[in-house]
Amino acid sequence: MKWLRLHPNADALSGYANRTLDDGDQRSVAEHLASCESCRDGVMILRTLMGSESYALPPRVLDKVLEARATGRRVILPVDDSADPRGLRLSLWTRSAIAAGSIAAALLFLLQPNQVTAGERTGLLRFDPPRPRVGATLTATYAPGALLNRYDSLTLRARLRRPTDPQYNWGPLQEVVAVLHRGAGGAFRATFHLPDSVVFAAFAVESPAGDIVDDNGGRLWEVVAYDQSGKPLFDGLAQKIGDLMGRNWEQTLITARQLTRSYPDEPEGWSLLVAHERWVLGDSTADALLPSHRRRFASFHNAFAEQGSLPLRTVAGMEDYAIQVDDHASARYWIDRRARDFPRDPDVLFRQENRLRNDSGWVVNPHRYFPIADSLWARMPPDAGETAIQLANNGLAAALQTGDTNALRVWSRRYEQVDRDKELAARYVGTSLAGFAPLRAEGLDALRRAIRLLSDAPDAYRPLGTTAHAHRAASAALEQRVLSDLAHALLLAGDTAAALDTLRVAAKKGWNSAVFRSIAEMWLANGDTVQAVQNLARVTADPIAATELPDSLRALEQRAPAGAWSQRVNAARSEMRTAVLAGTDPYLPAGAPRVQAQDGTLRSWADLTRGHVTVVAFWSRNCGYAVRDLPELARLTDRLRSIGVSLVTIADEPASDSLRAFLRGKHLQGLPAYGDVRGDARRAFANFATPQYYVLDPAGRVVFARSQLADVPLQAAALLPELP
């Protein structure tokens, strides 16, 4: 190697500085350095960097580490074992360590059952082959955390997705794919077949009874199908995005990026990426990225527009990409081309239905709408999936808008037929039809169908991260609401006795202030004040519901003898606590995050939550559902405060002028809004979606996770030691 004329490259200078070159090269570089000041600087810089001692570790870091561990904080580190093609491999000492750790953790659990942390539920699940092709046989190997290590067999549940499956995870999508049996070394194993049609699957492991679930800290375990060349299938990644929607938005963006890296010439991948950039990163970042998308779209357009024959995916992708980059002229071209080249494509048919509505979504001409919509429905292919649901939903909405009973009958049947969530579809149809006297009997039937389904609580509807008990409780809560719908429909039909009986059945399904209030009102209307007072006491046990009593019930409350009334309310409160807290399994968040107040100061988690019941709401201004809930949260703030419960709302971004302006624009300055500075809060709760609600007890433990907003006030009230 001679460096007399040419400069040595950086690696050669580094080798010289480290004295790792062989003698000849060391000499050559030295000769060059004698006449080259620039390279001498380079070597001096490299040697100086290596010798630096200026980074003294600050004191007390170790104390903070031990303190964090003691309070249950856990951090998932990026340990790269994905490169290991043989899947899970545990050495003898590691297995011993896991087993010993599991025993210790199990003992800890038995001694302190209310101090469970997420880490004790989470084990390691690996699949072999890690990159399967469609139809492959997979071997799952699972090393359990402490809580699942006590069983001889475990259940592997999955959500298996096909290319036409819709986004989000509503409906009966889950199934048991294998039973894992304990093998040599303590790990659990099972082999199962991945159906040919499946391109993506998400997994969770649970105890045989489904009472302990390991969902990998909320992230699940995932498998994408690969092609022969070792590339992930386009449909596999697209389905992964659909599965992640609503449960982990950051990962949807990462997967969309992977999709464009793997398929750079597919416009559909880019259209997905630009959409997720806007949803996940926010408008300002998405706007900054838009010019490069526009350039790429223009290049695609020039290349594809001239080609005579293109596959549907390319044409549909170009249409979506044009819309995402706001190129209206090109979008028009691709919409028209899709309609011309693929006239039976479900989206093309649905677009024709949309043209029968005005900008507000109202049907312009009912006489014209229904014949055309019927013809579009007849042309919908059987595998139209989500588009068929949207068309049926629009048809039913049009029938409700016009009050056309024949159309109501036809489109409600179609809607129930195609909607994958049969429980909710039957409820929607039932409550819709019950409002129309000629269709009331059919509405009642639909409501009864919904109740039967909810009563069965099919396991296919159980989300992968939900225990069987929690699923039954959620189904019972929903069944209770549908029973209440049925009671009101029966009342409309003039059958008061049946309505009252139905409400009493509903009351047995769980604590529900609205149901008790309906019963109280109905007894009062029937002149039975004793029964009315009994149910009114139950309403009053819920301090939030107690503030919303109608005058008729408030007058009844005032007429009741003070001592007896107080006794009834106290008994009802005790009953309420028992009912609401049944089956809860409190755990500590994984750590003690700091969040940022709107004035920029950092607040410790203990400051915000310890010593009182706290409702924690995760939201994002990029999430329509979360933004929709904000006014209700603002209304709840004072009412919760009045009973000693505090509300902490956490945005998925640091506090900023822009965030403050957003809240001001929505008149939400009074909302206790904090920023998640480094994503610490999100990690502590393993929360990857918005809106999500948690209710914490005064010790800071999560008692209710991922609650419905409507349930939050009662859950908070149940945790109060002494109700005011």
Partner 1 sequence: MDASPLTVPPGPSESDLIRDVATGSATAIAAMYRRHAAGIFRVASRLLGSASDAEDVVQDVFVGLPEAIRKFDGRGSFEGWLRRVAARTTLMRMRRERQRRQVALEPNADGVPAPGADNIARWDLERALRAVPARLRAVLVLRQLEGYSHREIGTMLGISSGASRVRFSRALQMLRRIWRTTT
* Site for partner 1, rule CB under 8 A: 9-11, 13-14, 17, 38, 41-42, 45-46, 48-52, 54-58, 61-62, 64-66, 68-70, 73-81, 83, 89-91, 93-94, 96-105, 119, 122, 124, 143, 149-150, 182, 185-186, 281, 285, 591, 654, 678-679
CB-nearer residue toward partner 1: 124 or 498: 124
Q: Which is nearer to partner 1, 17 or 569 (CB)?
A: 17
CB closer to partner 1 out of 12 and 335: 12
Distance CA 55, CA 47 (A): 16
Q: How far are the Cα atoms of 170, 233, 372, 395 from residue 414, in angstroms, in the given order?
A: 19, 33, 15, 9
Nearby residues of 242 by Cβ (< 8 Å), 6 or more positions away? 161, 165, 166, 167, 168
Count CA atoms within 13 Å of residue 256 on its CB side: 24
Residue type present at position 197: S
Smallest distance from partner 1 to CB 536, Å: 51
Q: Which residue has the tokens 């709408």?
A: 369
d(CA 244, CA 236): 12
CB of residue 523 vs partner 1: minimum separation in angstroms? 56
d(CA 475, CA 459): 11
Alpha-carbon dihedral angle through residues 130, 132, 137, 142, given to the nearest 10 degrees: 20
When the beta carbons of 165 and 652 are compared against partner 1, the nearer one is 652
Q: CA-CA distance, 479 to 124, in Å (whole number)?
A: 36
Contact, 395 vs 414, CB < 8 A?
Answer: yes
Supply 599's token pair.
């004035």
CB of 89: closest distance to partner 1 in angstroms? 5
Q: Which is nearer to partner 1, 186 or 644 (CB)?
A: 186
- C-beta of residue 521 within 8 angstroms of C-beta of residue 490: no
**Token couple for 191:** 């082999």
The least CB distance from residue 150 to partner 1, in Å, is 7
Number of CB atoms found within 10 A of residue 344's CB? 10
Q: Cβ neighbours of residue 465 under 8 Å, at least 6 residues apart?
A: 204, 213, 215, 218, 220
* Smallest separation, CB 605 to partner 1 (Å): 15
Least distance to partner 1 from the beta carbon of 261, Å? 9
For residues 129 and 654, which CB has a smaller minimum distance to partner 1 in the complex? Answer: 654
Cα angle: 710, vertex 712, 716; to 5 degrees: 150
Rounded to the nearest whole angstrom, what is the least distance from the CB of residue 485 to partner 1 in the complex?
45
Q: What is the DSSP letter of 82?
A: T
| Rounded least distance, CB 193 to partner 1, Å | 28
Is the CB of 51 or the CB of 371 nearer to partner 1? 51
| CA gap 216, 121 in Å, rounded | 8
Of 35 and 38, nearer to partner 1 (C-beta) is: 38
Q: Shortest distance, CB of residue 124 to partner 1, whole angstroms? A: 7
Q: Which two tokens stand for residue 58?
A: 């600050």
CA distances to 175, 442, 547, 575 from 540, in Å: 42, 36, 8, 12
Taking every pair of C-alpha atoms in the chain, what is the biggest distance, in angstroms?
109
- Contact between 688 and 219 (Cβ < 8 Å): yes
Question: Looking at beta carbons only, is 48 or 406 nearer to partner 1?
Answer: 48
Residues 617 and 693: beta-carbon distance below 8 Å = yes
Q: Give the pair of three-digit tokens for residue 231.
A: 């590339």
3-state secondary structure string, 359-371? CCCCECCHHHHHH
Q: Which residues 6+ apart lie within 8 Å of 286 measured at CB?
A: 274, 277, 278
Type and span of the H or E element at 159:
strand 153-161
DSSP code of residue 9: P
In whole angstroms, the minimum distance from the beta carbon of 248 to partner 1 comes to 15
Q: Minimal distance in Å, beta carbon 81 to partner 1? A: 5
Residue 258: which residues within 8 A CB-CB, separation 6 or more?
Answer: 232, 237
Q: Quick one: tokens of 480? A: 């209770």
Residue 219 or 538 with smaller CB distance to partner 1? 219
Percent of the chain as helix, strand, coil, to the nearest 5: 55, 15, 30
Shortest reach from residue 693's CB to partner 1, in Å: 25
Nearer to partner 1, 105 or 503 (CB): 105
Tell me the closest approach of the beta carbon of residue 54 to partner 1, in angstroms. 6
Task: Tell me the closest approach of the beta carbon of residue 684 to partner 1, in angstroms.
Answer: 12
Beta carbon of residue 253, minimum distance to partner 1 (angstroms, whole number): 10
Nearer to partner 1, 54 or 112 (CB): 54
By beta-carbon proximity to partner 1, the closer residue of 108 and 176 is 108
Separation CA 361–CA 356 (nearest Å) = 9
Nearer to partner 1, 485 or 653 (CB): 653
What DSSP state is assigned to residue 421? -
Residue 116's contacts (CB-CB under 8 Å, 6 or more residues apart) are: 109, 147, 585, 586, 587, 588
Instruction: Closer to partner 1 by CB, 285 or 669: give it.
Output: 285
Report which residue type is found at 248: N
Give a three-class secondary structure readout of 272-309.
HHHHHHHHHHCHHHHHHHHHHHHHHHHHHHHHHHCCCC
Q: Which is nearer to partner 1, 80 or 551 (CB)?
A: 80
What's the min distance (Å) between Cβ of 120 and partner 1? 10
Distance in Å, CB of 76 to partner 1, minimum: 6
Identity of the residue, 4 or 103, whose beta carbon is nearer to partner 1 in the bound complex = 103
